[in-house]
Amino acid sequence: MNQRNNSKKWSIISKIAIYGKGGIGKSTISANISAALADEGYTILHIGCDPKHDSTRALLGELQIITVTDSLKKSEEYEISSYIRTGYKGVSCVEAGGPEPGVGCAGRGILRTFELIDRMEGSLYHHSYTIYDVLGDVVCGGFAVPLRHEYADLILIVTSGEYMSLYAANNILRGIRNFDGERGRIGGIIYNSRGGIREEEQVKRFSQAVKLPILITIPRSELFLSAERLSRTVIEEFPDSYETSIFRELVAHLSSDRDPLPRHTAFPLEIWELESLILERKQDPLPIAIHDTVSAKPIVNMPVITDESHSYNPERPPLFGCAFAGAVAVLSQIEDATLIAHCPTSCAHILSNLLISAQNRNKFQITTPRYYPKSFLETGMDERMMVFGGEQMIKQAIVTAAENGSRIQFIISSCAPGVIGDDITGYASTIAEQTGLTIIPVPVHGVLAGDFTEGMLSGSRAATQIIKRDLQKIDKTVVILGEKVLANNTSLNFNEINRYLSFLNITVVCRFLSNTSIDEIQLIGNASLILPVSNDETTQTIATIISEITGVDIFPCPFPYTFHSTSRWIKALSDYFNVTEKGEALISEQVIRYQKEIDVIKLITAGKRVIIASSGPDITWALEILHECEIEVIIAGYFSSPYNSKQTFISHDSPILLSYTVDQLYEDIGRYSPDLVLTTISLDNKKCNLRYGMIPFCPNTGFYGALQSMKHWADILTGPVQEGWRNDL
Amino acid sequence: MIYTVTPPDTLTGMILGAEGIPDIMVILNSPTGCKFYHGHIADLKRNESVISDPYIRSEPWFFGQTRIPCTGLDDCDFIFGTQEKLEKLLNYIKTTYKGLIILINAPGAALIGDDLVKVIRRSDVSERCIPIEIPGTSLPASGGVDSVIVKILEHLKPHNRLKEEKKINLLGLSILQRYCEGTRRELIRLLRKEGITVLSSPGAGSDSDTIRLSASASVNSIVFPEYAVNTAEWYEKTYSIPFFISPEGSPIGFDATYTWISGLCRIMGTESTFVEYEIQKARKDAASAIARINSISGWPRGARFAIQSESSLALPLTKWLFSYLGMIPVGIDVMDGSYPPYLQEIQKFLQEINHSDCFGTFPGDKPDIIFTDGVTGTMMKDLGICRGFIEVNHPPSGKVEIVPRTILGVSGSLLIIEEILNILK
């Protein structure tokens, strides 16, 4: 024992976590500590927290057969006693186990083991000491579980004098610092010598720098190897050896009631300090990563986050929904493709509800429900899959889909597979090779790839993989691109546009991706033109990708909402396809009817004054129809919001404010007393008493799209200033 | 293969189980993708008159909704941990909300193993925040409700007082189920007429103070065992309160309603005369309506039905539709997590009536009416798979409901008959 501190009375130790770099000998040391404690007559629970499950080998004389994670693998629920085997002098041995190297999540296996330990605490298994032998480094939250206060009241760190071993020891101190702050829980260092030059000096320097004692020094000794060959501890095999006496001395201090071992605070070094100390490199302090929150020293020049600050880091605005949902939403529009959602059931529940509800809402707007997604399979990730990965379940889903005649399968991953590193791209490639099926991975990993829009983009990109190349162009055929599949009026808008296209003898070969099929997507290259629904960034990106694959031109005008924009859209389209006369006929037959309707509305609206304020949706179409109906727009603005980029806003004669606020809106209502406010938010009737109408997020398209909204707003102008129910809120 | 809504799992069960207690705040450690749906459903089920606007509502962590604040995790948080965001969220919530907090890790967040207890301690809310680190993934939602209610009870520690005669708790009701409020009202009404008082219904509208008084109940009566067996066992172990599970399933249909109420009355030492009278009266009203339709069309005899639900509902419903209305089962799909004794009873019954082939299929061969969730029901009706549907599970169809309704008890039995006749006529 190198250092002792008797100045403070320490609590009695019963749970000891032993950490150290992989291969440094901590399993050997932990097993000998358990054996030495057992020799003293204590009851011991020895828990190996290493996927290779060899911690208890020396205590049992063989490898533990059933590990805790085995129960997950075999989908069997064992009795607690099944996991516990009795070894040397009655030591109870448990191995956490883990998945095969390179798959699944070993940390999750550790978490599962500690759930078992929680259950054991309420059972008959009581031990004087619990020894945790924990894998090399604090690699993730799972491996850090033994550090949690309820599990370990003493932490011992095993290291040699080699740099990487000391580096790992320092990392462990960083983890402990993160958990404990100034609280002391570290007993000290167990120096396991490798016999290197100046090794002892390096360990001593490190121990002094991090303010930890070296509890024992274990020499390099053949006795350890001899005992290991027999799957035994040196305590058992060489009870009278010097090596055994070292462990006995340590456990005497560990088990002392009168003079328990002092516990120390973690003071990890910065990397440059460690390198300077051990490698004797002269280095300046390195810039510190933003995420580094465990340093023992104050970090300079870092933004300080106070309790009063509840806002997000402006560099990382909150994500709206997840990419998994976006990808599933667009790919579910391919009627004869199978979607394999690799996710927990909760994600599948949310998504299936969202998609079917959207279809249900659209039912009155389609003549015949031609398509419904018929194949949506979920892997239902459970605890077992979280540890071992989902390859088997994905294979099973692929086979099921293939048996049901599925031609193409998309595998889409949620957050959980992303976190455990499930390689769906690898699975897809292997299975496709074995079976000859077309399997397309969409590894968005839930929110890891971004928000809902990002997922729509990823899903659409994946679908472009099935487009056939070098197809002959067919005249007067188009691809419609970027319909809003979750809107209530998707089908209504398509039907309206398709009516115009039919009039011009133009055929839609594919709606990408809305109510479509594999065949239609494959033959996109036959089309002469891509018709984007909007000019937002996502739609334009997908249009560019398809155009690059197929050589199909992109039409520059998005779907129109007003009479005049529809006329321009039809004119441009009919010119493109050399059916100008037909286009003119289509427009001219609407002019008189439209003008009549406007004249009727103007009887109500002419001379009225409006404020229009949107929290995202485009308002330029609304400004056009308001103008036509001789309404004066006092203020037009977009609320400032993390969710709108304003990249798509089109310039207009009326000045549009781009950073309007709700407070300004209420002020302007008070100042100008408009006849009507058009907005996307609910107005507080206590703050203003006036008529207001909502701006639709997805307006109807075509000659009469904007007019339909205008008619509704005109009706509001003829109704009461405020409805009675608002007084009851 | 027909596309149906995937049933909810433990996460939804835990969230809505806790949200059924009005003065509890559920916090999710998750991306917003897990939050928006649950925030919407919780808001809908609680029917609070607060307006949401996801684009403009400025309150942090709520992302424009009124319920279920969340950390809004992104890819960086999955690498560097969620503790910083969690601490900021808890520090915000503790200043704006004074009640009990349930902090739940969504599956992705649970994987990275962040120490919720430590964050709670650092945020100084240990006294009123329950961490749920591993909600369990892809397990039945009913179990999630059951386990979160037990955790809340453990925290609230109901006062251990003398047992009060003829006072019970209703267990196994949750806002996750369809028509929770209407069901609660109907059962309270029927029991009150028999002289039995309901002290509390944890997870179905009772607040923390009411739940703290629940240990005075002399019996716990379980409506849906899938949602409450652990809760009932906890009461029994902690306060020696016995529990009652009806042998015929939940009180749906005249027969099972009578069995449920009269069974409870026997235990409580009271008569069940009111329910007996009310059921007789209801049967007469129902018979008149059925006779009118039957005399014209022959319905509902021979109408085909399919059920997708938990066994506590499927058992009494199947028996009642078959024996009382003469309807024929063509698809009975019992959901995961169902109460095993009822499951066996259904199989036994179907065998007795020579319809065991329909067990495990849904919607089966050309059903006229299906009993399922509102979203699946709407879709199947639109596709022409059935003539109509009756909502018995979450999620709802989206129809606005103001008047509390139920499919349980006497009123619920009449509502089911009414719906069936309207579909078939």
pLDDT digits (tens, 9 = 90+) for B57-110: 567 898 888 889 999 998 888 877 888 899 999 999 999 889 999 999 999 888
Probe site for chain B from A328, A353, A375, A488 (most B CB atoms < 10 A): A353
3-state secondary structure of A347: helix
Half-sphere exposure of A560 (CA within 13 A, CB side): 24
Helix-helix angle B311-325:B254-268, to 10 degrees:
120
> What's the confidence (pLDDT) of residue A320?
87
B238 reaches A (C-beta below 8 A): no
pLDDT digits (tens, 9 = 90+) for B156-190: 999 988 889 999 999 999 999 999 999 999 999 99
A and B: number of Cβ contacts within 8 A: 211
The answer for residues whose C-beta is within 8 angstroms of residue A584's C-beta and 6 or more apart is: A571, A574
**Beta-carbon separation of B111 and A310 below 8 A:** no
The answer for residues whose C-beta is within 8 angstroms of residue A318's C-beta and 6 or more apart is: A312, A642, B32, B63, B72, B74
How many Cβ atoms sit within 10 Å of the Cβ of residue B340? Answer: 10
Looking at CA atoms only, how far is residue A560 from chain B in angstroms? 25
How many Cβ atoms sit within 10 Å of the Cβ of residue B91? Answer: 18
Show residues of chain A in contact with B49, CB under 8 Å: 729
Give the Å distances, CA to CA, from B368 to A197, A259, A308: 86, 79, 59
Under 8 Å between Cβ of A713 and A719: no
3-state secondary structure of A36: helix
| Phi (first) and psi of residue A632, to 5 degrees | -85, 125
Which tokens belong to A247? 């462990």
> What's the confidence (pLDDT) of residue A137?
60
Amino acid (one-letter) located at B125: V
pLDDT of residue B225 exceeding 70 = yes
Give a three-class secondary structure readout of A641-709: CCCCCCCCCCCCCCCCEEEECHHHHHHHHHHHCCCEEEECCCCCCCCCCCCEEECCCCCCCCCCHHHHH
How far apart are the C-alpha atoms of B365 and A18, rounded to whole Å? 62
Which tokens belong to A496? 């309206």
Show residues of chain B in contact with A179, CB under 8 Å: 115, 118
pLDDT of residue A40 exceeding 70 = yes
Probe site for chain B from A345, A384, A646 (most B CB atoms < 10 A): A345
pLDDT digits (tens, 9 = 90+) for A517-546: 999 999 999 999 999 999 999 999 999 999
pTM confidence score: 0.82
A373: phi > 0 → left, psi -120 to 50 → alpha, else beta; which?
Answer: beta
Q: How confident is the model at residue A120 (pLDDT cuts 50, 70, 90)?
A: low
User: For chain B, what percent of residues have pLDDT higher than 90?
Assistant: 82
| Mean pLDDT of chain A, nearest integer | 84
B336 reaches A (C-beta below 8 A): no
Please report which helix (H) or strand (E) contains residue B233, including its range.
helix B229-239
8-state DSSP, B200: E
| Phi (first) and psi of residue A44, to 5 degrees | -125, 135
> What's the confidence (pLDDT) of residue A474?
96
Residue tagged 């006779």 (tokens) = B291
The interface residues of chain B toward chain A in range 64-123, judged by CB-CB distance below 8 A, are 72-76, 78-81, 84, 88-89, 91-92, 106-108, 111-115, 117-118
pLDDT digits (tens, 9 = 90+) for A614-653: 988 889 999 999 999 999 999 999 987 655 544 444 444 5
B412 reaches A (C-beta below 8 A): no
pLDDT digits (tens, 9 = 90+) for B106-129: 998 888 878 899 899 999 999 999
In sequence order, the β-bridge partners of residue A610 are A633, A676
Give the Å distances, CA to CA, from B126 to B81, B100, B109, B118: 20, 10, 20, 9
Which range among A120-124, A469-473, B269-273 shows the weakest confidence by mean pLDDT?
A: A120-124
Probe site for chain A from B75, B125, B139, B385 (most A CB atoms < 10 A): B75
**Beta-carbon separation of A344 and B11 below 8 A:** yes
Probe site for chain A from B138, B150, B382, B399 (most A CB atoms < 10 A): B138
Nearest C-alpha in A relative to B81: A141
pLDDT of residue A499 exceeding 80 = yes
Amino acid (one-letter) located at A253: H
Looking at CA atoms only, how far is residue A727 from chain B in angstroms? 12
Q: How confident is the model at residue A203 (pLDDT cuts 50, 70, 90)?
A: very high
Q: ∠ CA(B347), CA(B352), CA(B354), 5° rounding?
A: 90
Looking at CA atoms only, how far is residue A680 from chain B in angstroms? 9
How far apart are the C-alpha atoms of B416 and B251, rounded to whole Å? 13
Rg (C-alpha) for chain B, rounded Å, is 22
Q: How confident is the model at residue A311 (pLDDT cuts 50, 70, 90)?
A: very low
User: For chain B, what percent of residues have pLDDT higher than 70?
Assistant: 96
> What's the confidence (pLDDT) of residue A346?
95
pLDDT of residue B308 exceeding 80 = yes
How far apart are the C-alpha atoms of A66 and A84, rounded to whole Å? 9
> What's the confidence (pLDDT) of residue B293?
95
Q: Which of A355, A399, A404, A396 is nearest to A379 (CA)?
A: A396
**Beta-carbon separation of B398 and A141 below 8 A:** no
Looking at CA atoms only, how far is residue A270 from chain B in angstroms? 18
A150 reaches B (C-beta below 8 A): yes
In sequence order, the β-bridge partners of residue A49 are A134
How much is the average pLDDT of B200-215?
97
How deeply is A685 buried, as exposed, middle or buried, from its count of CB atoms within 10 A (0-12, 13-18, 19+)?
middle
> What's the confidence (pLDDT) of residue B29?
96
DSSP assignment string, A204-244: HHHHHHTT--EEEEEPP-HHHHHHHHTT--HHHH-TTSHHH
> What's the confidence (pLDDT) of residue A684?
83
**Beta-carbon separation of A615 and B53 below 8 A:** yes
8-state DSSP, B359: B
Which range among A252-256, A675-679, B350-354 shows the weakest confidence by mean pLDDT?
A: A252-256
Helix-helix angle A26-39:A242-254, to 10 degrees:
70
In sequence order, the β-bridge partners of residue A26 are none
Q: How confident is the model at residue A103 (pLDDT cuts 50, 70, 90)?
A: low
pLDDT digits (tens, 9 = 90+) for A372-401: 445 789 999 998 888 888 989 999 999 888
How far apart are the C-alpha atoms of B149 and B115, rounded to whole Å? 22
Q: Where are the alpha helices (DSSP H) in A322-423?
A: 323-331, 345-361, 383-388, 391-403, 415-420
> What's the confidence (pLDDT) of residue A691?
95
Give a three-class secondary structure readout of A135-200: CCCCCCCCCCHHHCCCCCCEEEEEECCCHHHHHHHHHHHHHHHHHHCCCCCEEEEEEECCCCCCHH
Rounded (10°) CA dihedral A224, A230, A233, A239? -90
Amino acid (one-letter) located at A445: H
A324 reaches B (C-beta below 8 A): yes
Which tokens belong to B10? 């433990």
Residue tagged 């290991």 (tokens) = A228
**Beta-carbon separation of A346 and B118 below 8 A:** no
pLDDT digits (tens, 9 = 90+) for B354-385: 999 999 999 999 999 999 999 999 999 988 99
8-state DSSP, B140: B
**Beta-carbon separation of A349 and B7 below 8 A:** yes
Which residues of A carry out catalysis?
A: 21, 26, 52, 137
> What's the confidence (pLDDT) of residue A654?
57
**Beta-carbon separation of A414 and B108 below 8 A:** yes
How far apart are the C-alpha atoms of A547 and A536, rounded to whole Å? 16
Q: Which of B37, B74, B115 has its CB closest to that of A148?
A: B115
pLDDT digits (tens, 9 = 90+) for B282-295: 999 999 999 999 99
Nearest C-alpha in B relative to A364: B382
Looking at CA atoms only, how far is residue B360 from chain A in angstroms? 18
pLDDT of residue A483 exceeding 80 = yes
DSSP assignment string, A286-303: PPPPTT----SSPPTTPP
Nearest C-alpha in B relative to A452: B33
The interface residues of chain A toward chain B in range 22-51, judged by CB-CB distance below 8 A, are none
How deeply is A587 buried, as exposed, middle or buried, from its count of CB atoms within 10 A (0-12, 13-18, 19+)?
buried
pLDDT of residue A441 exceeding 50 = yes
| Phi (first) and psi of residue A694, to 5 degrees | -95, 145
| Mean pLDDT of chain B, nearest integer | 93
| Phi (first) and psi of residue A95, to 5 degrees | -115, 130
pLDDT of residue B408 exceeding 80 = yes
**Beta-carbon separation of A344 and B32 below 8 A:** no
8-state DSSP, A276: I
Cα–chain center distance at A311: 20
How much is the average pLDDT of A480-503?
93
> What's the confidence (pLDDT) of residue A658?
86
**Beta-carbon separation of B111 and A448 below 8 A:** no
Helix-helix angle A424-435:A391-403, to 10 degrees:
40
pLDDT digits (tens, 9 = 90+) for A560-577: 999 999 999 999 999 999
> What's the confidence (pLDDT) of residue A302?
31
pLDDT digits (tens, 9 = 90+) for B23-49: 999 999 999 999 999 998 998 877 665
> What's the confidence (pLDDT) of residue A296?
33
How much is the average pLDDT of A221-229?
91
> What's the confidence (pLDDT) of residue B313?
98
pLDDT digits (tens, 9 = 90+) for A58-69: 999 887 667 877
**Beta-carbon separation of A352 and B134 below 8 A:** no
A294: phi > 0 → left, psi -120 to 50 → alpha, else beta; which?
Answer: alpha
Which tokens belong to B123? 């945020």
Helix-helix angle A345-361:A323-331, to 10 degrees:
50
Which tokens belong to A604? 């109500």
Rg (C-alpha) for chain A, rounded Å, is 35
User: For chain A, what percent of residues have pLDDT higher than 90?
Assistant: 52
Looking at CA atoms only, how far is residue A424 from chain B in angstroms? 17
A311 reaches B (C-beta below 8 A): yes
**Beta-carbon separation of B92 and A348 below 8 A:** no
Strand order in the sheet with A553-554: A507-512, A477-481, A529-532, A553-554
Q: How confident is the model at residue A683 (pLDDT cuts 50, 70, 90)?
A: confident
Query: A276 or A144: which carries more pLDDT confidence?
Result: A276
